[in-house]
């Protein structure tokens, strides 16, 4: 009995092992320096993390930024630049600048969100890999223990592919009496890249835990219709009697109706606060996301969990600049809907909350792109960072905002051609004629097919020129 007890690790220690292994790809004995940034709220979990980094012999620096000190930074003008953004104290900034692997476990306190934002933007400048988990808690660690990373990753990738590959989206939601509401918007195909939050963080990127979401930020002006939010709004879990119908016109939330007190409280607080700040974009459609984590079994009113629960989707209102788009707001509020039906182009990818994996796989394996006819004078622009080739698989790299993701798009078909194409044509423009000259006559058909595939995924842009 005793021996058994010694071998059983507590769930907190296990969860930190999972974060290091799955999210940062760190192995036991790794010599890559790790930086941990935390505050008072993390102290109750600190020893569990310490156990792992000592057992794994990881070179680690711990940066403790007490919440009182964060409050001092926020109240002291000398830490703000002309754009009202934070300049972190040099020792803290220096530690972030010199780190390639960061665990950011500061509290989720909204009063200090600018400090966390400053760390995120510093990370971007110095290309570190970072897990950003504001207000990480025992609950998050429990979910991590149960999260099937492989399955989540696979489904996130497939959903991101479907979001990227579609031109229009229609969401149907149902209220407690069975009335249906539809919300629709334009997706713009691969011109408008989707995002993946699968818990596996790529080089020079960052992500949240718990994982499990694919999302996008559609053309806001095209968002029209209604949606029944019957899951949660930030801070409040909704019962069926408290559901709310939202009306969107040209991407703005113009009306909401609900019998629920919580919803009234939520919206009156939000609008009052937005008025005080003079924030006109609080009601701007900002995101459409799909939750894909089956370890999250119930909604709790905390968007960090709720937006990732499998069987749900969410729309957000407020800011979309963190997704590389142009609407700035103080808010980004996720509003969660359960049992929705989602149609991308003519494919029902989610039916009453159930993923239709088969339909998406069928869609993905069908012929997706038209084979273009090229003229010698056509001008091709190449974006090499949008593609990678690993172990016989071609990936579309997602680069929008300061996040990074990848989606498999082709299995080995163009391996040799693609390598030669990339070797001779790194970045920028080339005439089709110049390119054609570098390939043998019998290769031209395959070259055209590959270029058509690249064009579909917007890895190249083709400007047709008849002359």
Residue 199 binding Fe ion, by CB under 5 A: no
Shortest Å distance, C-beta 284 to Fe ion:
15
Which residue of 155, 279, 307, 378 would you call a contact of Fe ion, by CB under 5 A? 307
- Dihedral sign for Cα atoms in the order 367, 369, 370, 373: negative
Shortest Å distance, C-beta 438 to Fe ion:
44
Shortest Å distance, C-beta 127 to Fe ion:
24
Q: Which is nearer to Fe ion, 215 or 363 (CB)?
A: 215
Candidates 159, 166, 220, 160; CA nearest to 194 is 160
Cα 414 from chain centroid (whole Å):
29
Q: Which is nearer to Fe ion, 181 or 215 (CB)?
A: 215
Q: Which is nearer to Fe ion, 92 or 296 (CB)?
A: 296
- The Cα-based distances of 33 to 15, 25, 456 in angstroms read 20, 13, 40
What CA dihedral angle connects 379, 383, 388 and 389, to 10 degrees?
Answer: 10
3-state secondary structure of 347: strand
Candidates 221, 215, 159, 214; CA nearest to 184 is 221
Residue with tokens 């270029």: 451
Shortest Å distance, C-beta 292 to Fe ion:
11
Near Fe ion in 365-404, by CB under 5 A:
none
Q: Which is nearer to Fe ion, 286 or 450 (CB)?
A: 286
Residue range at the interface with Fe ion (CB under 5 A); choices 139-147, 163-171, 291-299, 303-311: 303-311
Distance between CA atoms of 160 and 122, rounded to whole angstroms? 27
Q: Which is nearer to Fe ion, 185 or 215 (CB)?
A: 215
Residue range at the interface with Fe ion (CB under 5 A); choices 23-31, 78-86, 284-292, 435-443: 284-292
Residue range at the interface with Fe ion (CB under 5 A); choices 213-221, 253-261, 382-390, 395-403: 213-221
Shortest Å distance, C-beta 314 to Fe ion:
6
Residue range at the interface with Fe ion (CB under 5 A); choices 60-68, 76-84, 142-150, 210-218: 210-218
Residue range at the interface with Fe ion (CB under 5 A); choices 35-43, 180-188, 306-314, 341-349: 306-314
Q: Which is nearer to Fe ion, 95 or 229 (CB)?
A: 229
The answer for residues whose C-beta is within 8 angstroms of residue 269's C-beta and 6 or more apart is none
Residue range at the interface with Fe ion (CB under 5 A); choices 281-289, 291-299, 366-374, 405-413: 281-289
- Neighbouring CB atoms inside 10 A of 59's CB total 12
Please spell the DSSP secondary structure of 41-66, one letter per residue. GGHHHHHHHHHHHHHTT--EEEEE--
Please spell the DSSP secondary structure of 376-422, one letter per residue. TT-EEEE-GGGEEEETTEEEEEE-STT--EEEEEEESTTHHHHHHHH
List, in sequence order, the alpha helices (H) in 81-165: 90-97, 113-126, 138-146, 149-165
Query: For Fe ion, which residue has the nearest CB?
Result: 289
Whether 436 contacts 380, CB under 8 Å: no
Q: Which is nearer to Fe ion, 199 or 289 (CB)?
A: 289
Residue range at the interface with Fe ion (CB under 5 A); choices 41-49, 140-148, 288-296, 361-369: 288-296
Candidates 362, 391, 26; CA nearest to 165 is 362
Residue 234 binding Fe ion, by CB under 5 A: no
Which residue of 289, 311, 318, 340 would you call a contact of Fe ion, by CB under 5 A? 289
Q: Which is nearer to Fe ion, 279 or 307 (CB)?
A: 307
Which residue of 181, 195, 206, 215 would you call a contact of Fe ion, by CB under 5 A? 215
Cα 403-408-409 angle, rounded to 5 deg: 115
Q: Which is nearer to Fe ion, 36 or 270 (CB)?
A: 270
Q: What residues line the site for Fe ion (CB under 5 A)?
A: 215, 289, 307
């Amino acid at each position: 009995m005793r021996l058994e007890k010694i071998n059983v690790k507590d769930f907190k220690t296990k969860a930190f092992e999972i974060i290091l292994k799955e999210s940062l790809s760190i192995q036991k004995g790794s010599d890559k320096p790790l930086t941990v940034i935390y505050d008072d709220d993390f102290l109750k979990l600190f020893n569990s993390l310490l156990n792992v980094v000592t057992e794994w012999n990881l070179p680690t620096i711990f940066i403790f930024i007490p919440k009182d000190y964060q409050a001092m930074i926020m109240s002291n003008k000398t830490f703000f630049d002309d754009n009202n953004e934070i300049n972190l104290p040099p020792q803290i900034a220096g530690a972030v600048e010199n780190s390639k692997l960061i665990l950011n476990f500061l509290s989720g306190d909204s009063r200090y969100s600018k400090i966390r934002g400053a760390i995120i933007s510093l990370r971007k400048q110095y290309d570190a890999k970072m897990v950003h988990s504001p207000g990480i808690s025992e609950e998050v660690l429990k979910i991590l223990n149960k999260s099937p990373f492989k399955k989540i990753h696979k489904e996130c990738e497939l959903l991101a592919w479907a979001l990227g590959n579609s031109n229009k989206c229609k969401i149907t939601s149902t209220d407690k009496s069975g009335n249906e509401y539809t919300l629709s918007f334009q997706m713009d195909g691969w011109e408008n890249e989707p995002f993946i939050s699968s818990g596996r963080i790529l080089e020079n990127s960052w992500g949240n835990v718990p994982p499990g979401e694919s999302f996008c930020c559609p053309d806001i002006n095209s968002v029209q219709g209604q949606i029944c939010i019957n899951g949660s709004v930030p801070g409040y879990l909704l019962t069926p009697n408290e559901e709310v119908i939202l009306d969107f016109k040209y991407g703005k939330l113009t009306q909401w109706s609900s019998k629920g007190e919580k919803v009234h409280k939520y919206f009156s607080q939000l609008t009052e606060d937005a008025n005080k700040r003079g924030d006109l974009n609080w009601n701007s459609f900002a995101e459409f996301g799909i939750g894909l984590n089956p370890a999250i079994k119930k909604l709790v009113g905390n968007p960090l969990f709720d937006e990732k629960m499998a069987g749900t989707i969410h729309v957000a209102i407020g800011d979309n600049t963190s997704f590389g788009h142009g609407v700035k707001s103080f808010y980004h509020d996720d509003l969660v809907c359960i049992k929705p039906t989602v149609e991308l182009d003519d494919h029902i990818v989610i039916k009453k909350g159930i993923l239709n994996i088969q339909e998406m796989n069928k869609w993905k394996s069908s012929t997706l792109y038209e084979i273009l006819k090229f003229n010698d004078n056509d001008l091709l622009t190449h974006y090499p960072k949008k593609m990678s080739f690993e172990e016989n698989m071609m990936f579309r790299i997602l680069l929008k905002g300061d996040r990074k993701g990848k989606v498999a798009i082709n299995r080995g078909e163009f391996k040799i051609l693609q390598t030669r194409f990339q070797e001779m044509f790194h970045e920028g423009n080339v005439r089709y004629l110049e390119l054609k000259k570098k390939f043998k006559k019998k290769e031209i058909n395959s070259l055209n097919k590959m270029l058509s595939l690249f064009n579909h995924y917007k890895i190249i842009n083709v400007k047709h020129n008849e002359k």
